[in-house]
Structure 1
Amino acid sequence: MNMINTTPALQETDQLRADIYALLATLLRRTPEKDLLEWLASLEPDQDEDTPMARAWSTLALAAKHSKPRQLDDEYHHLFIGVGRGELMPFACWYLTGSLMEKPLVLLREDLNRLGFERQTNVKEPEDHIAALCEVMSLLITKGHGYATQHQFWQQHLQSWANRFYIDLQGADNAVFYTAAGLLGHAFMQQEDNWFMQLTPTAREGAQE
């Protein structure tokens, strides 16, 4: 997704949220490259912190240490591309209606247009791909959209199906490294749910505007 805007200073929490969305988008858009794998493998989460996110980071770091780019190419292909289609269909329409290119995509495109996003010319997948939605969330945060806008987009286009996708990804027959990616996605969605619930109406309306 492309968007032209100024970039305000972010609070640490918001920068971390944006970075996690961007990481998930990268992992789900294409096979991670060697540099990203090495960075993930170098992560050292706090061993004293026993939370779903901490466990997810530890699992992802361990998976990255034992993964090689060529193996990941095959894994990604079997999961998301396949012959005809992959094991999983990472699209909102598929999870919400059982088909592609349905009403949820129309509503998403209306929201993207209203928010000033446009589809990149080199992207072939519909905009309701999980990676694209994570990219949008990252950009909403980094470009200074308020929490109300972030929550509305998240609630309308991710909350109703993304957790099911991440759970399916964890249990997919062809998933090895991507089991850990699914674990991170699932833990992060739960964290976002709790985080939005804890915001007061004043915080949602006033922060980052």
Structure 2
Amino acid sequence: MHQEDQALRADIYALLAALLRDAPNAELLELLRTLETDPQQQNDLQLGWQMLQMAAQRATPEQLADEYLPLFIGIGQGEVTPFASWYLTGSIMEAPLIELRRDLKLLGFERTEEHKEPEDHIAALCEVMSLLIQQGASEERQATFFHRHLAPWAEALCKDVQQAGSAVFYQAVATLALAFFQHEKITLKQKPEEPQAVKLFSPAH
């Protein structure tokens, strides 16, 4: 896989981590508004970027904070519960989290004090993928982590967010994330020398 493709994947994972951990601030929202998308390319990823850009243009940080809270946190529990354990077992803090913590320890990652949620939060997993790519982890190691800890449930989460009654901006986030995770399933099964045929996005200059 080309270095440019790797850097782009790391950036997308980092963006998804930021958007799924908390509502975007004014700076991130402005970045999303100025993304350059390619209208000539009609694929799910491009549709996701276009939807996200349009959603960002119509939103304010205050509106998104009000949307994020009932969607992901709620009173006791949000409309969507963004943890691997919940999707895989129906409860939080279960076996998938224990397995994840073991793998994170082997990889040299640990939760920082500023992040209070369990490590199997979707944002934390996206952040780990971004860091693995940035640190030059082999494609095999990336694939192992992705298929163990994201692939079994992340698409179901995205589909739930798309259908959630409190989601407006986050419907666009979920559409992009779903397309990206589906693309990753293919990417992480390809041989390193195979080229990436899909252009994802280009930041505005």
Report the TM-score, using the length of structure 1 for normalisation.
Answer: 0.90
List gaps (5 residues or longer) in structure 1. Answer: 1-9, 204-209
Structure 2 match to 1:186:
178
Matches within 5 A, 1:21-60: 21-60=13-52
Q: CA deviation at 1:38?
A: 0.8
Matches within 5 A, 1:168-187: 168-187=160-179
Q: CA deviation at 1:84?
A: 1.1
Report the TM-score, using the length of structure 2 for normalisation.
Answer: 0.92
State the distance in 2 between where 1:59 and 1:81 align.
Answer: 24
State the distance in 2 between where 1:92 and 1:164 align.
Answer: 10
State the distance in 1 between where 2:167 and 2:19 align.
Answer: 13
Structure 2 match to 1:161:
153
Structure 2 match to 1:127:
119
- Higher relative CO (Cα under 8 Å, sequence separation at least 6) belongs to 2
Q: Name which of 51, 54, 67 aligns with 2:59.
A: 67
State the distance in 1 between where 2:106 and 2:73 align.
Answer: 31
Q: Name which of 72, 76, 87 aligns with 2:68.
A: 76
The size of the alignment, in residue pairs, is: 193
- SS of the equivalent of 2:189 reads helix
Q: Which runs of 4+ in 1 moved over 6 A?
A: none
Aligned residues: percent identity?
52
RMSD, aligned CA? 1.2
Counterpart code for 1:153? F
Structure 2 match to 1:3:
none
Q: Name which of 77, 92, 108 aligns with 1:116.
A: 108
